[in-house]
């Protein structure tokens, strides 16, 4: 009996599983292509995560179980997702707008040429260069760290920080631990910088991610988030705009203190630069027509006040998104993912462009209304 079971395992079960695995690999490479993302790299000199320029620098992100949404990425010479290579400060011929943010500025959910920075770059090409520096998961505290890197290498004249609602609580390590990013710790009413831990990629994970089947299960099916939802069981009633609103509200005093600390720190380190903080609109509330009663607008008010106290410009995308949605009924994200789609990136770029004119940072020969209609 034991010999027969062993032969069945050796000559039937294992070969069948091997053939099935090979077929799955081929299927998720050529029929429903699994998501591809670039390798990350921890820069020991600048103490930041960016993308590895020695790994594959082009690929396709697919989203959804049938890869319904597909977008191209390109990692440039400095390790960022961009259609263009970057020129360091001494060689630049035009002033620079640097845009810093998380996965929205990373921009993997649109083709690289449809990214906010690419759209804005076309609009301001006579006056500015536009470079973007985005990486998934970065909070406001890490934006401070990345701004130091950007200043060291590129010395921009304008710094734009694209804010998402979870950038605030995730800046405080006591509330959420992201060891590979700069965060703040909170002791006796004071905030202190907690430096990032060096990220060392797992050799085992890098081998596994070569498998299309593994990438499909982990990225397209989002197994990590499914497991997290099963374990954490967050209430849908408390979740809005990428945050647990109840948890954030309960910690609003700490979040407020951290926000003022970080905005002030960024201003102190950039006394001669124009600073702009732009925040995403509460899109689900916009789609539902209840923006006026959104439970995350207190975060907008907090950022607006922090900007006012620190001589920084503030842009709230709520109005631009609301007007566009009410006029045309277009959503700013796909049905498969909540990140901005091409419409979201374009509307955000136009809103930023309009604000740059209103702030007096870009000269305009035409009324803003004419520019908006001409560029859409």
Is the sign of the CA dihedral 242, 245, 247, 248 positive or negative?
A: positive
Determine the Cα–Cα distance for residues 117 and 331; give it in Å rounded to an integer.
Answer: 20
Decide which of 234 and 373 is more confident. 234
Same domain, yes or no: 24 and 44: no
What's the pLDDT tens digit per position in 34-51?
Answer: 999 999 999 999 999 999
**Rounded (10°) CA dihedral 53, 59, 61, 65:** -130
Identify whether the C-beta of residue 260 lies closer than 8 Å to the C-beta of residue 277. no
Same domain, yes or no: 256 and 283: yes
Same domain, yes or no: 43 and 26: no
Provide the 3-class DSSP secondary structure of residue 271.
coil
Same domain, yes or no: 25 and 51: no
What is the DSSP track for 56-77? Answer: --EEEEEESTT--EEEEEEB-T
What is the rounded average pLDDT of the residues 84-96?
Answer: 96
Same domain, yes or no: 192 and 233: yes
**pTM score:** 0.93
What's the pLDDT tens digit per position in 202-215?
Answer: 989 899 999 999 99
Q: Which class for 44: exposed (0-12), middle (13-18), buried (19 or more C-beta within 10 A)?
A: exposed
Same domain, yes or no: 22 and 120: no
Number of domains in the chain: 2
Identify whether the C-beta of residue 335 lies closer than 8 Å to the C-beta of residue 69. no
**CB under 8 Å to 84, separation ≥6 — which residues?**
76, 118, 121, 131
Same domain, yes or no: 118 and 183: yes
**Vertex 75: Cα angle to 333 and 224 (nearest 5):** 55
Same domain, yes or no: 69 and 7: no
Same domain, yes or no: 75 and 17: no
What confidence score (pLDDT) does residue 372 get?
A: 47
What's the pLDDT tens digit per position in 227-254?
Answer: 665 556 555 668 999 999 999 999 999 9
Same domain, yes or no: 231 and 95: yes
Residues spanned by the domain of 227: 36-375
Same domain, yes or no: 160 and 46: yes
Query: CATH number for the domain including 174?
Result: 3.40.50.1110
Same domain, yes or no: 102 and 176: yes
């Amino acid at each position: 009996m034991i010999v027969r079971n062993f032969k069945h395992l050796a000559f039937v079960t294992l070969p069948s599983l091997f053939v099935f695995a090979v077929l799955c690999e081929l299927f998720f490479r050529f029929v429903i292509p699994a998501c591809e993302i670039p390798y990350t790299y921890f820069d020991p000199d600048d103490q930041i995560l960016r993308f590895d320029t020695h790994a594959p620098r082009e690929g396709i992100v697919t989203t959804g179980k049938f890869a319904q949404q597909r977008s191209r990425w390109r990692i440039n010479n400095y390790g960022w997702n961009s259609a263009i290579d970057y020129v360091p400060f001494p060689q630049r011929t035009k002033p620079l707008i640097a845009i810093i943010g998380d996965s929205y500025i990373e921009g993997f959910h649109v083709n690289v040429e449809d990214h906010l920075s690419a759209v804005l770059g076309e609009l301001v090409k006579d006056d500015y260069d536009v470079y973007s520096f985005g990486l998934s998961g970065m909070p406001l505290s890490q934006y401070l760290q990345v701004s130091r890197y950007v200043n060291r290498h590129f010395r921009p004249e304008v710094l734009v920080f694209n804010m998402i609602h979870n950038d605030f609580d995730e800046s405080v390590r006591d509330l959420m631990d992201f060891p590979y990013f700069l965060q703040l710790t909170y002791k006796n009413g004071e905030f202190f910088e907690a430096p990032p831990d060096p990220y060392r990629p797992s050799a085992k994970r890098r081998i596994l991610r070569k498998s299309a089947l593994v990438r499909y299960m982990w990225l397209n099916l989002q197994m990590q988030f499914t497991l997290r939802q099963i374990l954490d069981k967050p209430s849908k009633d408390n979740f809005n705009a990428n945050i647990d609103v109840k948890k954030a509200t309960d910690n609003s005093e700490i979040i407020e203190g951290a926000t003022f600390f970080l905005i002030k720190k960024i201003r102190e380190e950039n006394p001669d630069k124009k600073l702009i903080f732009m925040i995403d609109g509460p899109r689900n509330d916009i789609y539902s027509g209840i923006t006026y009663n959104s439970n995350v607008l207190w975060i907008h008010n907090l950022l607006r006040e922090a900007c006012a106290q620190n001589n920084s410009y503030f842009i709230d995308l709520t109005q631009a998104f609301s007007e566009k949605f009410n006029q045309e009924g277009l959503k700013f994200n796909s049905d498969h993912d909540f990140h901005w789609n091409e419409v979201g990136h374009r509307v955000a770029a136009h809103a930023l462009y309009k604000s740059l004119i209103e702030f007096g940072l870009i000269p305009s020969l035409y009324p803003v209304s004419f520019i908006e209609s001409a560029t859409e």
